[in-house]
Structure 1
């Protein structure tokens, strides 16, 4: 375990409160919020299996996650500032997405909790009002830094799709609207499954002046176990997922405008079963599973285009945030002893202009 003698910048957290906002689980918690067992049953009944498989446990959808919750999770580590990344605001059509930015600005980020350094909001470049929506986000918060529009759609139809088409980043209307991101000097968070990394490569090459960050190393679904219908079902299948991911990550890294987030490696969609075993992965288990991915990314992206991010609370279902920081920092030092402060602080500060 590394003794970090500096405060971390966490480049990717989520904040929500289904009790007070138009969250997807708002109706369920209003009806059954005081009855956790029944609430769990209701959420499982009304949501598709692919969503449950992605989040692992329903309380990660139904429980609030606010600055004080994050402070509890960070343990003894010092955090200089965090970046909130859009979290599927339920009124996500048109200008309704602005309300999430207002909500994040209203939360108690302060000296007693943690400093909010940036907001990555959402908007759809295909929307005819896209340019206006960007301006409204900017008006809503001086911390507005960029946009994330999720495009994760897997070839396995039983793995949760987070977009309405499989190659959103190649859509002509999307690309036309994307020009406004470059014109406004904003960043773009790209989230895809590893089977779609070629779409991110094409986007990065078409907009070489736009700073793009690949969330969660590109989420190789099924790498650690069976998910969906057949993904990761056998050892050979998992090896093939890894090889394809390695090749595409290496190609993506050749685009100098692309960074990546060392995050999201313990979401259940990767095939982890810890939540089903009713336990959390130990620090050593986190290290052993994550090290091959971290070392490969650092080999190709180098230490100046990789940034630490927790993705909490989404990975909380598999392990603790302290275990993640302990293990990831050890993995970084094992690859490059001089890279620790860049990856856990400097790179996010530079990328998001914090």
Structure 2
């Protein structure tokens, strides 16, 4: 939930509005790994295993999912740096329920990206080990809150982070500790922060950096009506990042309010044709620069659910993916996520 003085930054989910758009599922046999979603139970916003099952079971062949840090189910007591263990334990519990097979073939939370404060520097090691013990072989990486902008109109975190976190020496020392544990670092950064991401990638070439949400091209606040200017700036920085072989990109997360596409303001929810056409320049730039083996599709639900439905979203991705080879399509929809997060073989069967 939002902290004191901070409004919730996520668009509200309106099930009745979403229900107005129904589409035939395209290529229903294509295996999918949803590389990025959240679960939470907050005032007015509940999205837990049952809600995920309903979305993932809406027609597409979702084999597995990756849970990503969302300040969910933190422990209410204990040392501050240990409270995020509650989130890892919670996600692992959902994964255990899913792995029972009682809820169908999907393996939810097969990979878990948790929260460990990397500003602890070298002292982060024992905390990483506790998260690994809490989630066993499902703990795959860490994400801190890093998406920051000076404008109060640019906010996608309930608790805005401190500026310049990616450049802090302590943060880099903490991030370096991930390598020895075989963990990756997920990063949510706006396009205005991509120079910081680039510097981090170059400073830690052995660390796999997973850039969330297409690198955060902004379209709200001071970036309204500046779409072409932002695209030019964003695309040039993404191409520079592509020169770092340790960077992988998640394709999605473009339904967030700060992206400014405004799907939520339409009378009817967007169709997959509209989404594919709107996003094509961004998705195409990422795939062309990084290659399909370093790109993976994500839902970013329930955050993006304020803008479109789950089935429509994956139809849009499939419309975009229709122009690539079968091998490239497999990489985008499942292969890159399986390899990056070292997911179990069930995801590929």
Superposed pair shares fold, TM > 0.5: yes
> 1:216, 1:262 within 8 Å by CA — same for their partners in 2?
yes
Structure-1 separation of matches of 2:73 and 2:155:
17
Q: Which residue of 2 is the match for residue 326 of structure 1?
A: 315
Structure-2 separation of matches of 1:240 and 1:161:
21
Report whether the alignment pairs 1:17 with 2:41: yes
Report whether the alignment pairs 1:104 with 2:96: no
Shift of 1:2: 4.3
Q: Which residue of 1 is the match for residue 119 of structure 2?
A: 126
Matches within 5 A, 1:36-47: none
> 2:213, 2:250 within 8 Å by CA — same for their partners in 1?
yes
Q: Deviations over 1:149-193 (max 9, x none)?
A: 121112423211645322211111111222211121211101100
Report whether the alignment pairs 1:71 with 2:30: no
Structure-1 separation of matches of 2:72 and 2:48:
15
Report whether the alignment pairs 1:7 with 2:31: yes
Q: Deviations over 1:276-310 (max 9, x none)?
A: 33531111111111111111111101111001111
Shift of 1:79: 1.5
Matches within 5 A, 1:27-176: 29=43, 62-74=44-56, 75-89=58-72, 91=74, 93-107=80-94, 108-110=97-99, 111=101, 112-113=103-104, 114-115=106-107, 116-127=109-120, 129-142=123-136, 143-160=138-155, 162=157, 163-176=160-173
Q: Which residue of 2 is the match for residue 50 of structure 1?
A: none
Specify whether residues 65 and 161 from structure 1 end up closer, same or farther in structure 2 by C-alpha distance, changes over 3 A only: closer
Q: Which residue of 2 is the match for residue 182 of structure 1?
A: 179
Normalised to the residue count of structure 1, the TM-score between the two structures is: 0.81
Structure-2 separation of matches of 1:165 and 1:281:
34
Structure 2: give runs of 5+ residues left out of the alignment.
Answer: 1-24, 344-349
Specify whether residues 98 and 265 from structure 1 end up closer, same or farther in structure 2 by C-alpha distance, changes over 3 A only: same
Q: Which residue of 2 is the match for residue 287 of structure 1?
A: 276
Structure 1 residue ranges, 4+ long, deviating more than 6 angstroms after superposition: none
Q: Deviations over 1:99-138 (max 9, x none)?
A: 1111112233242153131100011111264212111101
> 1:83, 1:118 within 8 Å by CA — same for their partners in 2?
yes
State the secondary structure of the residue aligned to 2:277: helix
CA RMSD of aligned residues (A): 1.9
Q: Deviations over 1:186-216 (max 9, x none)?
A: 1110110011011111111111111111000
> 1:193, 1:220 within 8 Å by CA — same for their partners in 2?
yes
Structure-2 separation of matches of 1:16 and 1:165:
23
Shift of 1:336: 4.5
Q: Deviations over 1:49-75 (max 9, x none)?
A: xxxxxxxxxxxxx32212221221131
Aligned length: 304
State the secondary structure of the residue aligned to 2:46: coil
State the secondary structure of the residue aligned to 2:171: helix
Report whether the alignment pairs 1:192 with 2:179: no
> 2:74, 2:85 within 8 Å by CA — same for their partners in 1?
no
Report whether the alignment pairs 1:315 with 2:304: yes
Structure-1 separation of matches of 2:318 and 2:245:
24
Structure-1 separation of matches of 2:29 and 2:126:
43
Specify whether residues 90 and 78 from structure 1 end up closer, same or farther in structure 2 by C-alpha distance, changes over 3 A only: closer
State the secondary structure of the residue aligned to 2:118: coil
Structure-2 separation of matches of 1:117 and 1:12:
11
Structure-2 separation of matches of 1:158 and 1:326:
31
State the secondary structure of the residue aligned to 2:175: helix
Aligned equivalent of 1:276, options 265, 272, 282: 265
State the secondary structure of the residue aligned to 2:36: strand
Structure 1: give runs of 5+ residues left out of the alignment.
Answer: 19-28, 30-61
Structure-2 separation of matches of 1:268 and 1:280:
15
Structure-2 separation of matches of 1:212 and 1:288:
28
> 2:73, 2:90 within 8 Å by CA — same for their partners in 1?
no
